[in-house]
Amino acid sequence: MVKYIEKEFKSILNKLKFIDSWYWCRYTLNTYNGCQFGCIYCDSRSAKYHMPTDFENTIIVKKNAKELLDKRITKARKLLPDVVAISGANDPYQPAETKYLNTRQCLEVLAKNKYPVGIGTKSKLVIRDLDLLEKIGKVSWSSVSVTITTANPEIAEFLEPRAPTPQERFDVIKKIKKQTKHIQAGVSFIPIVPYLCDSDEHLEVMVKKTKESGADFILFGSGVTMRDLQANWFLKHLKERYPELIEKYEELYDFKYNPVSYDGKYNPKEHYHKKINKKMLSLCEKYKLPYRMKRFIPNDYRRMNYIIAEKLLNESFRLQILGKAWSKKHWAGMNIQNLKESLLAVAKRNELQKIRNVNDKIEAFIRENLDLDKDATGLLRFL
């Protein structure tokens, strides 16, 4: 039986050092601790997150979430509106939400303050809040990423025992795209679980069904991450249901199975990532399905920074998939996003290479994509 524990917290909104380059979020927010869906691969089971030991049966309800968030935003002097990701350590629309409404109440605060929002979920309950998400999307930016790791109901029941079926989740995307105009919606095909969800047939079915759902994108990430308590939990269930796969995981993650303590790699070996990612890239091209989400672009000094950074980060992701040099573009994009002034002003002073990781080639790329005269006129109008 699931137990709910109501608890008051001192903080609710986490500001990231670097904007996330997949979901484009500057801030993260979790409305609960623990998750009733009980996905066996969930990284939130790791010791670093300090979640309840009985992760799926003991749910901590952040009793004062709405008030904390409202106070944090309205009192903060240095916070700028940017994407708030509601998810991460748990599902914001797990069954607890039907009773406590924490997620909806936080959306109301974000809508009032014109903050863009990104939702990550496996739940059908997100449909309930399309009114708020549409309102947010119309004013700033709104996205819903529905996590679907497999189209196979049997495998889904093993990996995500209490979550809605894969088809129900594809239907969520269909409903969002039919009922709204300002919500970006797609599939988060993360993780691609080795040897269960990574066959050529499985990958193609996932991309095809995503396309058929009317999704705007499919994000993909090859391999399950493996760490301490989370790895122990995942491998325990894998050994019970698919014992023949343990040896393959030992080779892929470089460890010898021990039910008490995991000492292998956090990620699969590099050759695995390259193989799966190249297949996914090819399938996305075949079905004309974007594998990146369009980002929020603010109407202040950050505007050109974010536009240029998006191009750099999208290109670095593609290069990484192809096994080519990517890190310079990635970190240049990350640092440009963190500038406290317009990239245009930096370019006008001929100081682009003072930005960390911006070299001759990247400076040329920036200048090529910055129409300095046009952008200067627009910036003056804004100021």
Return d(Cα 164, Cα 349) in angstroms, integer: 54
Mean pLDDT of the chain: 94
pLDDT at residue 381 greater than cutoff 50: no
- pLDDT tens-digit series, residues 106-142: 999 999 999 999 999 999 999 999 999 999 999 999 9
pLDDT of residue 51: 80
CATH of 303-382, one of 3.40.1130, 1.10.3470, 1.10.150, 3.40.1350: 1.10.150
Q: Name which of 165, 178, 268 is nearest 221 in CA terms.
A: 268
Residues of the chain with CATH 3.20.20.70: 3-286
Span 328-353, mean pLDDT? 97
Span 201-228, mean pLDDT? 97
Q: Given the structure tokens 């245009």, which residue do they identify?
A: 344
pLDDT of residue 372: 59
Fold entry, domain 3-286 = TIM Barrel (3.20.20)
Q: Under a CB-based contact definition with an 8 Å cutoff, are residues 35 and 94 in contact?
A: yes
Q: What percent of the chain has pLDDT over 70?
A: 97
- Helical ranges in 199-258 per DSSP H: 200-212, 228-241, 246-253
Span 140-148, mean pLDDT? 98
pLDDT at residue 379 greater than cutoff 60: no
Q: Under a CB-based contact definition with an 8 Å cutoff, are residues 12 and 69 in contact?
A: yes
pLDDT of residue 54: 82
Residues of the chain with CATH 1.10.150: 303-382
